[in-house]
Amino acid sequence: MIQNMRKQILVGTGLFVFCQVAILFGRLLPLSTGNIGRPGPDLALCLLFAWMLRRPDQLAAPVIAALFLLEDILLLRPLGLWTIVVLIASEFARTRESRWRDQPFMVEWLRVSILVGAMMLGYRVAQFIFLLPVPALGNVTLQYISTVGFYPVVVLAARWLIGLRRISAAEAEMMRYSR
């Protein structure tokens, strides 16, 4: 029984890493022809919260930190700043997952949108404090709106394509005692 749960955790973690790397690869592809329109959603962040609020046992903090640090390096962002913001927010969501588990999806969506807004605001404030280049507020606002708007799409895609679903209270209790 315990071996099966460990196998599920390893498979889930591997699947999450694969999805995040695929999203990062898609972001690195030169698909635009020089005309930069509105900024797109942060699909990696949407997938992180969808996974964290459904299967928090499959995501360890070092895995999250390594993936988002790799993203910082490859996307030429300030090294580790977005990573620490994402890590703090994901651990915040992990500690509240048991209380959010029985809530309807609209409440989850509202909470995730508030959390993403707080993350983007904190990131922007840190950029001001450390005198880093700050992107235009309009672009950040558009990225926030598109990220929040795409969150239900990512949750639905994760449910249909990957089979990611919320754990029940009984499953959470079994996981707690198996550790």
- Give the pLDDT score at 37: 72
Asked whether residue 8 is domain-assigned, the answer is: no
Domain of residue 50 covers 14-23+40-178
Asked whether residue 53 is domain-assigned, the answer is: yes
Helix, strand, coil tally for the chain in percent (to 5)? 75, 0, 25
**Length of the chain measured in residues:** 179
Q: How many domains does the chain have?
A: 1
- Give the pLDDT score at 128: 95
- Give the pLDDT score at 57: 87
Where the chain has pLDDT below 50, the residues are none
Asked whether residue 1 is domain-assigned, the answer is: no
Kindly write down the DSSP assignment for every residue of 39-69, as one continuous string.
Answer: ----HHHHHHHHHHTT-GGG--HHHHHHHHH
- If one counts every other C-beta atom within 10 angstroms of the C-beta of residue 92, the result is 13
- Give the pLDDT score at 48: 97
Asked whether residue 158 is domain-assigned, the answer is: yes
Asked whether residue 4 is domain-assigned, the answer is: no
Contact residues for 27 (Cβ-Cβ < 8 A; gap 6+): 75
Q: What are 91-105's pLDDT values in tens digits?
A: 999 998 888 888 899
Asked whether residue 31 is domain-assigned, the answer is: no
Q: How far apart are CA 169 and CA 179, in angstroms?
A: 16
The predicted model scores a pTM of: 0.91
Contact residues for 171 (Cβ-Cβ < 8 A; gap 6+): none
Asked whether residue 169 is domain-assigned, the answer is: yes
- Give the pLDDT score at 97: 85
- Give the pLDDT score at 6: 84
Task: Check residue 80 and give left, alpha or beta (phi > 0: left; psi -120 to 50: alpha).
Answer: left
Question: Tokens 């950029």 appear where?
Answer: 127
Asked whether residue 5 is domain-assigned, the answer is: no
